[in-house]
Structure 1
Amino acid sequence: MTAPAQPRATPPRSDPAPLARRVAAQSRYEALTMLRNGEQLLLLVILPLMALVALTLTDLLDADVPPGLTRVDVAVPGVLTLCVLSNAFSGQGIQTGFDRRYGVLRFLSTTPLGRGGLITGKLVAILAVLAVQYVLVGALGAALGWRPDPVAVLVSVPVLLLGAAAFTGLGLLLAGTVRAEATLAVTNLVWVVLAAVGGTLFPSRTLPPALSWLVDLLPSGALGTAMRETFLTGAPTLLPLLVLAVWAAAAWAAAVRWFRWS
């Protein structure tokens, strides 16, 4: 007489982690990847800090320093604007473009993380890196004599977030519609142009009148103006904020419409 067959053991069910934990893990990976990459570190941290030292120790900003203030008071808002451009546009655009090329985006979009979780993770990573940039720029600025009004520091945070929203949308739009190599070339070229003559490090009024009004309508010019107004006068005017809001809405609408995951 044969022994009765033993029932097969049911393997334990493996449920995915909660969405918040998945997003946190993805954002941590994205942020560390950006900060550990040598080229990204140069773009995100080293070049902005070098720009702050150069603008503070040379006379490039002397014509734009209001009475009673110093070069570093004008330099720090511009460098923080450069940090947003480096992080949300160039850094994230390049990383997303190559993730798309190698199939990483398509793979992750089919995991429990999903497309929404992946994009959220990227946004959180951008904010985390921006916080690191702010601390480093602020610390170096303080060493160079920067003494901002604490209220202006608080006001600058939502201004930077609005700028980050606009530039992230533009970066994702570019990364999701053209080849990775083209994304790399375009983002680097745009970074150089906007840093030099896009109202980022230098106020738009330093340009010829025929160009200054156009620069004010760029996201870089609007963010640079809003940041300088925040730290030099206490609060930004409405126009640059409206320009940034329009750019953010248009960029994200276009990214949702035309972004390709592979």
Structure 2
Amino acid sequence: MTTTTAPDTAPPAAQAARAVLRAEARLFRREPGALFWIVAFPSLLVTVLGLIPGFREPDASLGGLRVIDLYVPVAVLLSIVVAGVQTLPAVLTGYRERGILRRLSVTPVDPKALIGAQLVLHGVAVLAAIVLALAVGRIAFGVPLPGQPFGYALAVVLTALAGTASGGTIAALSRTSKAAQTIGTVAFFPAMFSAGVYLPVQTMPDTLRQVVELTPFGAASQALHDTAGGGWPQWWQLLVIALWAGVLWAAAVRWFRWE
């Protein structure tokens, strides 16, 4: 008995985009360094901090929360920062520097399909990191799951858009992969600070917190904190994140060069 496979009736452009996605997925799986920093490192940070006894004790100054409760949302943001600011710009700039985007422009494959594939793959990696961080926090240290999952998901999606927009802007401003890595590293540490990696945003002095909340990752930290506790993110938090995403995407589209 033989079986037959139905022919692919999708338009040629869609078939080409799927082929590019499959090829890029194979290449992405061969980058253990990128996968470690995006997917595994945020949960490893939660594990290390959770093993500190004092971080598992309720703190009256935090409204009865524990420090480890604050760091699970931070781990979520850290995966977005790493993907958007560190790995994505280097990949996009490398493709342009090696002439891959230019060569694709004379084939049936739209160069935008390659960029779209990278955005999808980085998005999937970030999603895996989020699920892993929430699972580690819940199972290992009893951190409650987000009390408002829909608001939490909305904040994550907007923040991911801002993170990838940051990567697109860095790639647009960088002529070489080395320049992208340099600019990405310069942007990485302030982004980690505003996300609360060094000091949770909720524990910062009032003036510093108000300044940090004007950044996309600072506003996202507060939005995730609010939704983790069961409330909806405040409108101004979502507005700050959305405005950053819009401005950065506009800059990336305006200045990006295919060759």
- Aligned residue for 1:112, secondary structure, equals coil
1:45-124 matched pairs, under 5 angstroms:
45-58=39-52, 59=54, 65-67=62-64, 69-124=65-120
Q: CA deviation at 1:80?
A: 0.5
CA distance in structure 2 between the partners assigned to 1:56 and 1:213 by the alignment: 27
CA distance in structure 2 between the partners assigned to 1:29 and 1:89 by the alignment: 23
Alignment correspondent of 2:35 = 41
Q: CA deviation at 1:204?
A: 2.6
Q: CA deviation at 1:110?
A: 3.4
1:203-218 matched pairs, under 5 angstroms:
203-218=200-215
* Runs of 4+ deviating beyond 6 Å: none
Q: CA deviation at 1:237?
A: 0.9
2:247 to 222, 247, 250: 250
Q: CA deviation at 1:65?
A: 4.0
| Equivalent residues of 2:85, 2:184 under 8 A apart | yes
CA distance in structure 2 between the partners assigned to 1:114 and 1:148 by the alignment: 41
Alignment correspondent of 1:25 = 19
Query: What CA deviation, in whole Å up to 9, does each residue of 1:117-144 have, x standing for no partner?
Result: 2333232222221222122222222222
User: TM-score of the superposition, structure 1-length normalised?
Assistant: 0.82
1:167-182 matched pairs, under 5 angstroms:
167-178=163-174, 179-182=176-179
Q: Kindly report the root-mean-square deviation, in angstroms, between the aligned alpha carbons of the 2 structures.
A: 2.6
1:240 to 229, 237, 241: 237
User: TM-score of the superposition, structure 2-length normalised?
Assistant: 0.82
Asked whether 1:230 is paired with 2:224, we answer no
Q: CA deviation at 1:108?
A: 2.7
- Aligned residue for 1:148, secondary structure, equals coil
Query: What CA deviation, in whole Å up to 9, does each residue of 1:143-173 have, x standing for no partner?
Result: 2223314x62333222211111111111111
User: Is there any run of 5+ residues in structure 1 with no aligned partner, and where?
Assistant: 1-14
Alignment correspondent of 1:130 = 126
Percent identical pairs in the alignment equals: 29
| Equivalent residues of 2:92, 2:115 under 8 A apart | no
Q: CA deviation at 1:16?
A: 9.4
Query: What CA deviation, in whole Å up to 9, does each residue of 1:8-31 have, x standing for no partner?
Result: xxxxxxx99633333333334434
| Equivalent residues of 1:43, 1:91 under 8 A apart | no
| Number of equivalenced pairs | 245
Give 1 or 2 for the bigger CA radius of gyration.
1
| Equivalent residues of 2:134, 2:145 under 8 A apart | no
Alignment correspondent of 1:148 = 145
| 1:131 to 1:19, Cα distance in 2 relative to 1, 3 A | farther
The aligned amino acid for 1:134 is: I
CA distance in structure 1 between the partners assigned to 2:171 and 2:257 by the alignment: 9
- Aligned residue for 1:260, secondary structure, equals coil
Alignment correspondent of 1:259 = 256
The aligned amino acid for 1:36 is: R
Q: CA deviation at 1:107?
A: 2.2
